[in-house]
Amino acid sequence: MTDISAVVDVLRDTFRSGRTRPLAWRKAQLTALRALFTENREAIADALHADLHKPRPESYGAEVDLPVLEIDHTLAHLDTWLAPQPLTAESLAGLPDGTTAGTQYEPLGTVLVIAPWNYPVQLSLVPVAGALAAGNTVLLKPSELAPATSALMARLVPRYLDPGAVAVVEGGVPETTELLTHRFDHIFYTGNGTVGRIVMRAAAEHLTPVTLELGGKSPVFVDRDTDVSMVADRLADAKFRNAGQTCVAPDYVLTDPATSAALQVALAASVERLFGADPQSSDAYGRLVNQRHFDRVAALLDSGEVAVGGRTDRDDLYIAPTVLAAVKGDTPVMREEIFGPVLPIVEVAGLDEAIAFINDRDKPLALYGFTENETTRRRLAAETSSGGLGLGLPMAHLRVPDLPFGGVGESGTGAYHGPHSIAAFSHRRARLDVPLS
Ligand code: NAD
């Protein structure tokens, strides 16, 4: 096993040396990280295919192009984001003439990033990019459940990034458990709430701040009188990408009975447009990550009437893109985050009942709505809470780098992307300058 103490000591020494603070160093690291992505596009897609049977276009989009977009946006705006923020004279009333004050971001030190398996490159290296942009050193622990991708990152990261400032420690529960005994200046964890609690407890020992990017059941409200064919296309694309193993995937639909009937027909057509008549033989469709997750998701298929799909093949870790109709709120599929290609439709009378249903449950990572009605959009925003709100196009909010990406309550704490990554990985220091004469 890696000597974790030695790795952490190197990262601490590098931070203390001051090497990571200048803007030029930060930009050089981001530029090198950009090259890691663009020069290893195929190797990244190969590893993701080995781990998750991830279709290549999905890998290029979510695991290469999106991180590159994030890095380019950061390189373009980093100077502005890091500029000191002066206070107005009004807030300095009563202090001696010539007094100035403001805030300035400073790096925290050494950051631990613990990543999951579902988007194992993006969810490892975008937080690393944010931590470096903010001037920190970083220890990355990729997920052991995506072993080819973990090994690839362990090989590539030291070739591209400053090896004194960024380290990759591979491993599973024993390694993570040991890592968590060390003192870090920030811990950034993406994964489930059970481990999130373990991380937060360990962090409390050292009073280390945490960002917890967790999951949950992200609902979709579909209003009556929407174009169900368009809704179904957008829903199916978001839900069945990566075989439903996306933290912000639409988890379930809330709609009235008439819309539900029309939507089921439209979803069948959307699934066929996306993956053909036999999704199992389509290059565009993924697989469940392992047998444990296969068994867990397959067991949820009994929670409603199968309206689309329903076929499974355990040896191939295949579960067809599936829509379950007439699902009741207390069935197993509605009790846990699905994290697989199963879309339950729960019938409600209308918006009031949908809002009550959502508010009876944990605050989700995302909430989606399809409606032409401005009042309905306004009510969904005003009368519910979620990490993000996506009206009209599920999952697109996470591609906008200036929007904070994160959860609330059970779906997480803290946020990142773009300027929000600088805020997550920095201390905002107050400064007051009073003249001596
Ligand atoms: P996972 O099993 O890969 O776990 C994540 C990390 O936790 C891994 O690095 C793993 O080694 C570590 N870990 C696992 N058990 C541990 C333990 N007992 N002690 C210490 N560390 C441990 O990922 P997962 O949790 O299966 O991922 C799926 C969940 O993550 C879903 O709930 C999903 O919604 C959520 N998720 C959230 C986001 C987000 O950005 N908010 C993104 C992706 C996934």
Question: In this structure, are 371 and 323 located in the same domain?
Answer: yes
From the list 219, 239, 212, 193, the residue with the least C-alpha distance to 384 is: 219
247 is catalytic: yes
CB atoms within 10 A of CB 317: 20
Task: Count how many domains the chain has.
Answer: 2
Query: Model pTM?
Result: 0.96
Question: In this structure, are 326 and 205 located in the same domain?
Answer: no
Task: Specify the residue with its C-alpha closest to ligand 1, atom 23.
Answer: 116
The per-residue pLDDT for range 111-168, each reduced to its tens digit, is 999 999 999 999 999 999 999 999 999 999 999 999 999 999 999 999 999 999 999 9
Question: In this structure, are 206 and 258 located in the same domain?
Answer: no
How far are the Cα atoms of 151, 162, 252 from residue 329, in angstroms, in the given order?
Answer: 41, 51, 10
pLDDT at 6 over 80: yes
Catalytic residue among 247, 337, 347, 410: 247
The atom of ligand 1 lying closest to the CA of 171 is 11
What's the N-to-C CA distance of the chain in angstroms? Answer: 60
Question: In this structure, are 223 and 202 located in the same domain?
Answer: no
Question: In this structure, are 367 and 392 located in the same domain?
Answer: yes
How far, in Å, from the CA of 193 to the mean position of ligand 1?
8
What is the domain range of residue 83?
4-214+407-433
CB atoms within 10 A of CB 169: 20
Question: In this structure, are 170 and 305 located in the same domain?
Answer: no
Catalytic residue among 58, 213, 337, 410: 213
The per-residue pLDDT for range 293-349, each reduced to its tens digit, is 999 999 999 999 999 999 999 999 999 999 999 999 999 999 999 999 999 999 999
How far are the Cα atoms of 18, 260, 374, 380, 383 from residue 377, in angstroms, in the given order?
Answer: 48, 20, 5, 5, 10
305 is catalytic: no
How far, in Å, from the CA of 192 to the mean position of ligand 1?
5
State the average pLDDT for the chain. Answer: 97
How far, in Å, from the CA of 214 to the mean position of ligand 1?
8
Question: In this structure, are 341 and 359 located in the same domain?
Answer: yes
Question: In this structure, are 234 and 184 located in the same domain?
Answer: no
Testing ligand 1's pocket by substitution, the residue of 52, 121, 181, 214 carrying the most ligand atoms inside 8 A of its CB is: 214
Task: Specify the residue with its C-alpha closest to ligand 1, atom 15.
Answer: 173
CA 436 to chain centre: 49
Tell me what pLDDT residue 437 has.
Answer: 83
Question: In this structure, are 27 and 70 located in the same domain?
Answer: yes
